[in-house]
Amino acid sequence: MNTEQTEHAGRATRTGRAGRGVAVVTGAGSGIGRAVALALASGGWSLALAGRRAEALCVTTDVTDAEEVAALFAAVRERFGRLDLLFNNAGTFGPGGVPLEDLAVADWRAVVEVNLTGTFLCAQAAYRLMKEQDPQGGRIINNGSISAHAPRPHSIAYTATKHAVTGLTKSLSLDGRPYRIACGQIDIGNAATEMTERMRTGILQANGELAVEPVMAAADVARTVLHMAELPLEANVQFATVMATNMPYVGRG
């Protein structure tokens, strides 16, 4: 999303009272995050975009840094006065194709920091703001993964963190009930992004073979997130799976 698009989205509702509301999208510089940001902007949402690629974002944020996360949500409060939606999207796969026994502890920790700690820090900051604002409430949508259900070979750090995100989603959903804070999760399989480029040339399967896998457009994911986001707070999509129809998920392994 370029600066002009971002500024246009921001002008739509500076206070969050008009249009759809105010949304924060993390990992918004590319891939799923960018597609969702564009869909939300087209749907009338005001946006605060967070990520590490400063040229594409409103607020440059390392989601593993608690102070930077706090600054992001403070900026949202200052500019818009409230927060209605967090799409918790920032994530990393880590080093691809590394056997479990060779995975460096530093690489394990790096994936945990982004996928789990970063997701928690953003959710916590959003939860605090949604609880305190008037009118109270909002929605958090976490980006899980097909790997929150079934692993790929040599993906232990990514798979473990995505399983943990599911637990985080459930806890947020429960703890948010008294404050009109809804939380759901979208589990995505083979959206066409930079992360899935290798699937077009062949990726390791559970039987040890390499196989090309089908992908789907990131815009198809974005439409699903937009649907989840636009539900009234009295309704919630707890878990949604959106995947390339013929990818090896059902029956994986």
Catalytic entry in 127, 158, 179, 249: 158
Whether pLDDT at 55 is above 50: no
Q: Mean pLDDT across the stretch 215-242?
A: 97
Known active-site residue 127: no
pLDDT for position 19: 57
Reported as a pLDDT band with limits 50, 70 and 90, residue 75 is very high
Identify the structural domains of the chain with CATH numbers, from first to last.
3-243 (3.40.50.720)
Residue 130 banded pLDDT, cuts 50, 70, 90 = very high
- CA angle 122/119/31 to nearest 5° reads 100
The 10 Å Cβ neighbour count of residue 160 is 16
Task: Please indicate whether residue 30 or residue 58 has the higher confidence score (pLDDT).
Answer: 30
* Residue 124, CB-side half-sphere exposure with 13 Å CA sphere: 13
- Among the ranges given (7-21, 70-84, 85-99, 192-206), the one the predictor scored with the smallest mean pLDDT: 7-21
Residue 124: name the closest of 180, 70, 182, 60 by CA.
70
Nearest-angstrom CA–CA distance, 152 and 158: 9
Three-state DSSP at 48 gives: strand
Joined tokens for residue 175: 């703890």
Please give the Cα distance from 171 to 169 (Å, whole number).
Answer: 6
Q: Give the CA distances from residue 80 to residues 59, 158, 163, 233, in Å, rounded to whole numbers and listed in that order.
A: 14, 34, 33, 20
Higher pLDDT, 176 or 1: 176
Q: Cis omega before residue 214 (within 30°)?
A: no
pLDDT given at position 244: 94
